[in-house]
Amino acid sequence: MSSENSPTRIRILKAAWELLETNPGVAARMSDIAKKAGVSRQALYLHFPNRTELFIATTKYQDEMFGVQDMLSKSRAATTGHERLDAFIEAWGNYIPKIFGVAKTLMVMQATDEDAARAWGERMQDMREGCAAAVAALDRDGALNLDPEGATDLLWTLLSIPTWEHLTQLCGWPQERYIATIKRLALGGLTTPPHAPNAA
């Protein structure tokens, strides 16, 4: 396998990113991506043996370019569960608009394209792990009013990209209103009010 940072690999990732972002729902073929990147199909397959790996690598390349680790640093450094939940919602909620173009394409494609479905499934599993970490911090503090699995399910759903799309794109909510509302819903749905007993 060639270098992770080789110029050819980066060109391929940039080409895949552009094609996925600008052609919602269109199943980008390996030949299309190779042509866009200006490389042979043989060179493309040397770096990425299949579309699943290429699509997954493209989403991770977005994370690298947008500095997602820095975005999540405040959440990871939080000392309380409430702080971690607040910071995680802030980070992920404000990250969605940056990746929405590629995400939308993978979401549309997943019903009929196995490679897209696998790539999207991995992306959503990564995000669920972030939700689970925030929930674990609340549970550690004794602030959780649901079982951890159920709380993770709820937070994962609240922070889903379709929810963001419906509220901001279809309903016209400003981003600030979306973030504030999701925070309020998550806090009310996941946590125990001060001095109240935990839910059974």
Strands (E), the chain: none
How far apart (Å, rounded) are the C-alpha atoms in residues 76 and 170?
32
Alpha carbon distance 121, 113 (integer Å): 12
Report all structural domains of the chain as residue ranges with CATH numbers, in order of start.
7-63 (1.10.10.60), 65-190 (1.10.357.10)
- List Cβ<8 Å contacts ≥24 apart for 118-124: 118/52, 118/55, 118/56, 119/52, 119/55, 119/56, 119/58, 119/59, 122/56, 122/59, 123/56, 123/59, 124/156
This prediction has a pTM of 0.85
List the chain pLDDT tens, one digit each, 200 residues: 445 678 999 999 999 999 988 876 566 789 999 999 999 999 999 999 998 899 999 999 999 999 989 999 999 999 999 999 999 999 999 999 999 988 988 888 888 888 889 889 998 999 999 999 999 999 999 999 999 999 999 999 999 999 999 999 999 999 999 999 999 999 999 998 754 444 44
